[in-house]
């Protein structure tokens, strides 16, 4: 299984597959073809069908314009590539000609066509840790908790990355609770996290606790919808649930940061198993599958 750094990706919303992935694909293309002046971007399948609502075109143009490259975008929602429903072909038309196809496979990860079968070095041994039963067996036999397995596989540096992840999550909550106005997109939805938080503070007991956790999760989701900085958990579509729960527990029970970081590692181990054996891509398993 891949590093938890691949599961918890720091980036900008509103979609890991439709925004973060295409951004990465464009950056990869520029790295391979730095001389490009004009590029045509062809979006296929699910990437094309819901791309406008997810600001895919804005993300593509933003990356290319930052490098002085003109980008033309074509949409092919009824055409599907065989490898994955989220496909993007980038074609350099000036000064040279070049063509690359990329697949945004969920959680912000991008695979370039031709590299689909290549495996990079992965810190987790699938033979020992690649399923829940194997992970439980390994943990029990070694007296480990899940977070300890993660540190054993990735080293103590993974805690530093989790600390960065947690900082971004907290900032997304605080920014989301303060922000007001209309979210981008054709539905013209008003932000509601600020109001939800104000109402939640009027409740007590289990109802108040649930309302606060909801307002924190909604704050992150609205930051994501507004194109703000968030962490895939494991995707942009599900980015609010984990920080909302952990932030509420931190506030309510004064849980120290180290325990929050360990909780992120634990959740990441479970998410990695789902990613390895199933999918975290909404285009493949539905948006609720991300949650």
pLDDT higher than 90, residue 251: yes
* 214 and 146 in a common domain: yes
Residue 1 DSSP label: -
* Residue whose structure tokens are 């031709």: 114
* 248 and 163 in a common domain: yes
| pTM exceeding the 0.75 threshold for the entire prediction | yes
* 152 and 86 in a common domain: no
Half-sphere exposure of 208 (CA within 13 A, CB side): 8
In a domain, 202, yes or no: yes
* 208 and 264 in a common domain: yes
* 278 and 146 in a common domain: yes
Q: How far is CA 164 from CA 47, 124, 167, 231, in A?
A: 29, 22, 5, 10
Q: Report percent pLDDT > 90 for the chain.
A: 86
Strand 86-94 vs strand 98-106: parallel, antiparallel, or unpaired? antiparallel
How far apart are alpha carbons 239 and 13 in whole angstroms?
Answer: 9
Beta bridge mates, 87: 44, 103
* 70 and 207 in a common domain: no
In a domain, 268, yes or no: yes
Q: Phi and psi at residue 122, in whole multiples of 5°? A: -120, 140
* 237 and 194 in a common domain: yes
For 14-57, what is each residue's pLDDT tens digit? 998 999 999 999 999 999 999 999 999 999 999 999 998 888 99
- By residue range, what is the domain housing residue 276? 126-290
Q: Phi and psi at residue 11, in whole multiples of 5°? A: -175, -160
* 261 and 180 in a common domain: yes
* 225 and 163 in a common domain: yes
How many domains is the chain built from? 2
In a domain, 2, yes or no: no
């Amino acid at each position: 299984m891949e590093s938890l750094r691949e599961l918890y990706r720091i980036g900008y919303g509103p979609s890991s597959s439709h925004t973060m992935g295409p951004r990465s694909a464009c950056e990869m293309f520029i790295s391979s073809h730095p001389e490009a002046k004009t590029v045509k971007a062809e979006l296929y399948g699910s990437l094309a069908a819901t791309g406008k609502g997810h600001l895919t075109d804005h993300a593509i143009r933003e990356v290319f314009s930052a490098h002085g490259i003109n980008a033309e975008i074509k949409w092919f929602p009824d055409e599907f590539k065989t490898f994955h429903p989220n496909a993007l072909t980038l074609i350099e038309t000036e000064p040279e000609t070049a063509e690359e196809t990329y697949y945004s496979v969920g959680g912000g990860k991008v695979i370039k066509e031709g590299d689909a079968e290549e495996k990079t070095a992965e810190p987790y041994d699938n033979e020992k840790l690649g399923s829940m039963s194997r992970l439980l067996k390994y943990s029990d036999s070694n007296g480990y908790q899940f977070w300890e397995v993660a540190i054993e596989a990735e080293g103590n540096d993974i805690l530093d990355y989790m600390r960065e992840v947690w900082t971004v999550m907290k900032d997304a909550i605080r920014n989301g609770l303060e922000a007001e106005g209309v979210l981008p997109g054709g539905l013209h939805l008003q932000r509601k996290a600020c109001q939800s938080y104000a109402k939640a503070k009027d409740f007590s007991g289990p109802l108040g606790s649930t309302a606060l956790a909801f307002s924190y999760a909604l704050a992150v989701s609205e930051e994501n919808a507004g194109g703000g900085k968030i962490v895939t958990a494991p995707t942009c579509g599900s980015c609010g649930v984990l920080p909302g729960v952990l932030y509420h527990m931190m506030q309510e029970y004064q849980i120290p940061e180290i325990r929050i970081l360990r909780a992120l590692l634990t959740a990441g181990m479970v998410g990695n198993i789902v990613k390895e054996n199933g999918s975290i891509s909404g285009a493949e398993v539905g948006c609720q599958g991300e949650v």
